[in-house]
Amino acid sequence: MLSNTKDTKGTIINGSRVALDRGRVKSVLLTLAATLALTLLIACGGDKENFKPAPPVVTIAISPDKANVEAGKSVQITVTSTGGTDIIWPKMTGGAGVEGEYTPINNLAIYTPPPVAGTYDFTVKAKADTTKTATAKITVIYANPTISITPLNATILQGATQKFEANAVFPEYPDLPYKG
């Protein structure tokens, strides 16, 4: 019975010496790899002339997506987008688009909604795909007014009357105090 052995010149199989040519083995492996790659390319329907990369995925996001703002104050809005970084900002013409005022700088906007209580939508679009939008809902709230009553203390005899005066100053309308 013959056994397989190995020495420095190759492997002996069933009593015969088989020499290994490393260069030939490497060449066969490279040919096999190239054939596999070409087969995969053809099987996937790819060719150089008609190859078109997949379009980029377009997303757009806005932060914050909700905010409460005191009347007359501003909020900073940040917009991020992928697949095309250009942003279509809201239009400010003829009452269409966003109400209030804003100043866009790159991907930021400082938005000042009207000083009237309510919720205002600030909507942006991705220029690469205008079906992709993001909206921030900005709610305008009134700050608590400063209220004063005079006199603070009064002693009144039974059957007598005392006049009190109340004053309210609203932060969003400092030039319009309420007296009553």
In the chain, ranges of CATH 2.60.40.10 domains:
59-141
Which amino acid is located at 84 in the chain?
G
User: How many other CB atoms are found less than 10 A from the CB of residue 122?
Assistant: 25
Distance, in Å, from the CA atom of 126 to the CA atom of 67, rounded to the nearest integer, reads: 22
For residues 149-163, one letter each, b for 16 or more C-beta atoms within 10 angstroms of the residue's C-beta and e for the rest, the string is: eeeeeeeeeeeeeee
The yes-or-no verdict on residue 44 having pLDDT over 70 is no
Average pLDDT for 45-56: 71
Report the relative pairing of strands 129-141 and 66-70 from DSSP bridges: parallel
**Which region among 10-24, 142-156, 164-178 has the lowest average model confidence (pLDDT)?**
10-24
The yes-or-no verdict on residue 145 having pLDDT over 50 is yes
CATH of 59-141, one of 3.40.50.720, 2.60.40.10, 1.20.1600.10, 3.40.605.10: 2.60.40.10
- Give the pLDDT confidence of 97-132 residue by residue, as tens digits: 466 778 788 888 888 888 778 888 888 998 888 899
For residues 67-79, one letter each, b for 16 or more C-beta atoms within 10 angstroms of the residue's C-beta and e for the rest, the string is: bebebbebbebeb
Distance, in Å, from the CA atom of 166 to the CA atom of 140, rounded to the nearest integer, reads: 26
Mean pLDDT taken over the chain: 78
Query: What local confidence, expressed as pLDDT, does residue 29 receive?
Result: 78
Query: What local confidence, expressed as pLDDT, does residue 144 receive?
Result: 76
Alpha carbons within 13 A on the beta-carbon side of 112? 7
Average pLDDT for 68-90: 87
The yes-or-no verdict on residue 4 having pLDDT over 60 is no
Which amino acid is located at 66 in the chain?
K
